[in-house]
Amino acid sequence: MRAISQAGTVINHTLDEKTPTFGFWKLYDFDVDESGLYALDVFHNEGSWTHFITNPPAKGYWEHKSAEEINWTELNITGWANDWYVERSYPKLCYTKAFIAASGADFSGASKPLGQVLEIVPLDNITTVGKGDFQFQLLFNGKPFDNMTVTAERIGNDTQFEKVTDKEGKVKLNLFDPAETTEWLIQADTGMDPRVVVAKDLPRGKDSKEKSFVGPVYRTSLTLRNDYIKREE
């Protein structure tokens, strides 16, 4: 992960097995030595996964390997139907970002992309979170990504709602919440979108003609709060 100050100073840090934890979560802190808005940019590789449909149409199992890593000659297919196949195989690549506001923050900086492969960019001023409709833009390799689902979830409330991006990759979500302090988690992922993955012929049962979707799955999230500017006591 990296913390980027408003002035452009970058603090790099790797979260590993030595990182302190709280439950499932890894903990990290750093000194906010500069004024302005900090952006937190995090990347996490969850490894590769392959999903077999062993007994179509539905029964299957997951292998924590990519198709390239599987030894097909040693694959135990006992009990599998003759039309088994690989539904999909992919590395799961995850991005997330958030903001920390110190004194003198220029909140327009939150609308500048960080360069994540899949990235949600807040287009409205982040100090308006919680007041109603808020516009975002979804980028893939820096370009608008259309026809993709973006979800919003108020942290502490499992209810989600979603919208689909337009031709400019933009989407508007209602983030209204009258609570004094609230956080929102905005998420998107590429899934098996054919612009990202390809259909290939992988080993399969003798009666199967199914193609396999192979390629990366990118997931991204953005955390926003409604208290970047502290209320007067």
- Helices and strands (H, E) in the chain, number of each type: 0, 17
28-35 long-range CB contacts below 8 Å, 24 or more apart?
A: 28/1, 30/3, 32/100, 32/102, 34/5, 34/6, 34/7, 34/9, 34/102, 35/6, 35/102, 35/103, 35/104, 35/105
3-state SS assignment for residue 67: helix
pLDDT above 70: residue 41: yes
Cβ atoms 222, 97 nearer than 8 A? yes
pLDDT tens-digit readout, 153-210: 998 887 889 999 999 999 999 999 888 888 999 999 999 999 999 999 999 999 999 9
**Beta pairing class for 212-214 and 170-174:** unpaired
pLDDT tens-digit readout, 104-127: 999 999 999 999 999 999 999 999
Q: What are the backbone angles phi and psi of residue 135, rounded to the nearest 5°?
A: -100, 140
Percent of the chain as helix, strand, coil, to the nearest 5: 5, 45, 50
pLDDT value, residue 211: 97
Closest residue by Cα to residue 39 from 86, 4, 74: 4
pLDDT above 60: residue 82: yes
pLDDT value, residue 30: 85
pLDDT value, residue 191: 95
pTM of the full predicted structure? 0.92
